[in-house]
């Protein structure tokens, strides 16, 4: 297969996708910003910091020069933190081909602009060929070829189908979805609820509390999604409740682990530092809180987590606040 695919971001998920695509026989380059990390990957044949024990295919090219990595790529997969997406795309623009397909796998909302990542891409490259790949897909399992199912969304259905075929394997099943707004929001907002689920676990609560957090969390996701023009049914699918389940229940989830530390009494900064990697839900919670106000949408879990992150309240007071809200009909979304 001659088409060149470049993965921008040598973290856990970027590496996992690079492994998956290289194993399919594509010409794959993997770029990362830390030259020392890339050198270690070349020397050891694995990514010991992010995916220890996962062997890299011999023909996977590890590249530290952005021009070399991006030039001639038919598909550029962006696996960088959501808050870095704009700047990373700008760096790549001079070397992208006219018809390069941008496939984004980051899950977040830009804090300052409150834009989804597809909107940022369109702003930087008008008419961009863009798709988002999202769903319940921990890198640790994808890289080990454990069964995983995700969805790809684009405004261009033909492009979504093409990306589907490129990524689909007998262990990585890809569906298409034409609701790019819902897919992007689902992937971003579920991280906030995973923080909440982690806080619940950190405080020593049980399955009942976590189930309530997840169920009322999906309601908040639907509220904001509907206000922003998403198809509410998307939140019942892989990129909504599917991703929510895996992120709220797995110890692979940075957001859940961060929440556990916060529930145990650590500050947001202390928890993030201990995780040692980007926790997307922290930035997304701030952006979602601002969007809730902009669209006049009630999101009590998101609001409470934002207050806790900012030190305006503690975990115990947050629980009392959520449990003590005025009673209502469950179906009144």
275 shares a domain with 218: yes
Residue 170, in any domain of the structure? yes
pLDDT at 125 over 60: yes
128 shares a domain with 54: yes
- In this prediction, residue 331 carries a pLDDT of 81
274 shares a domain with 164: no
157 shares a domain with 46: yes
109 shares a domain with 171: yes
214 shares a domain with 157: no
3-state secondary structure of 55: strand
pLDDT digits (tens, 9 = 90+) for 47-96: 999 999 999 999 999 999 999 999 999 999 999 999 999 999 999 999 99
226 shares a domain with 139: no
167 shares a domain with 198: no
Q: pTM for the whole thing?
A: 0.95
pLDDT digits (tens, 9 = 90+) for 198-236: 999 999 999 999 999 999 999 999 999 999 999 999 999
Where do the H-state alpha helices sit in the chain?
12-23, 35-44, 66-70, 85-92, 117-124, 139-142, 157-167, 180-202, 207-227, 243-249, 254-263, 268-275, 280-294, 300-309, 315-323
What does the DSSP assignment read for 88-125?
HHHHHGGG--TTPEEEE----B-TTT--BHHHHHHHHS
Whole-number Å distance between alpha carbons of 313 and 320: 11
Residue 332, in any domain of the structure? no
Active-site residue (options: 190, 210, 294, 328): 190
pLDDT at 332 over 90: no
Q: Can you give the CATH number for the domain in which 32 is found?
A: 3.40.50.720
3-state secondary structure of 186: helix
**Mean pLDDT, residues 170-199 taken together:** 97
Could you say which of 147, 178, 209 is where a domain stops?
178
Residue 330, in any domain of the structure? no
Whole-number Å distance between alpha carbons of 117 and 94: 19
Q: Which domain holds residue 229?
A: 188-323
Residue 294, in any domain of the structure? yes
- The answer to whether residue 158 is catalytic is no
The total number of structural domains that make up the chain: 2
Could you say which of 178, 196, 225 is where a domain stops?
178
Which one, of 215, 223, 182, 224, lies nearest residue 196 by Cα? 215
Residue 333, in any domain of the structure? no
CB neighbour burial string for 302-333, b if at least 16 within 10 angstroms, e if fewer: bbbbbbbbeeebebeebbeebeeeeeeeeeee
């Amino acid at each position: 297969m001659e088409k060149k695919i470049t993965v921008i971001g040598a973290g856990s998920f970027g590496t996992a996708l690079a492994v998956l695509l290289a194993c399919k026989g594509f010409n794959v380059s993997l770029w990362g910003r830390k030259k020392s990390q890339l050198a270690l990957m070349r020397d050891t044949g694995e990514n010991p910091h992010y995916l220890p024990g996962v062997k890299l295919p011999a023909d996977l090219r590890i590249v530290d020069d952005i021009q070399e990595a991006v030039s001639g790529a038919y598909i550029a997969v962006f696996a960088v933190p959501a808050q870095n997406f704009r700047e990373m795309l700008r760096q790549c623009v001079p070397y992208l081909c006219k018809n390069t397909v941008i496939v984004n796998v980051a899950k977040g909302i830009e804090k300052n602009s409150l834009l989804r990542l597809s909107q940022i891409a369109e702003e930087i490259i008008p008419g961009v060929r863009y798709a988002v790949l999202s769903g319940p897909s921990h890198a640790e399992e994808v890289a080990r070829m454990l069964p995983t199912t995700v969805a790809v969304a684009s405004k261009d259905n033909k492009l979504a189908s093409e990306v589907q075929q490129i990524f689909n394997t007998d262990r990585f099943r890809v569906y298409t979805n034409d609701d790019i707004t819902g897919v992007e929001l689902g992937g971003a907002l579920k991280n906030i609820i995973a923080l909440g689920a982690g806080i619940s676990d950190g405080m020593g609560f049980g399955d009942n509390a976590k189930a309530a957090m997840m169920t009322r969390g999906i309601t908040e996701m639907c509220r904001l999604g509907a206000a922003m023009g998403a198809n509410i049914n998307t939140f019942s699918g892989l990129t909504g409740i599917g991703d929510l389940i895996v992120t709220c229940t797995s110890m692979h989830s940075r957001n859940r682990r961060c929440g556990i530390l916060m529930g145990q009494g650590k500050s947001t900064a202390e928890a993030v530092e201990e995780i040692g990697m980007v926790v997307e839900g922290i930035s997304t919670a701030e952006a979602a809180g601002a969007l809730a106000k902009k669209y006049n949408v009630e999101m009590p879990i998101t609001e409470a987590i934002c207050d806790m992150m900012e030190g305006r309240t503690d975990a115990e007071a947050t629980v009392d606040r959520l449990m003590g809200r005025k009673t209502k009909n469950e179906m009144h979304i």
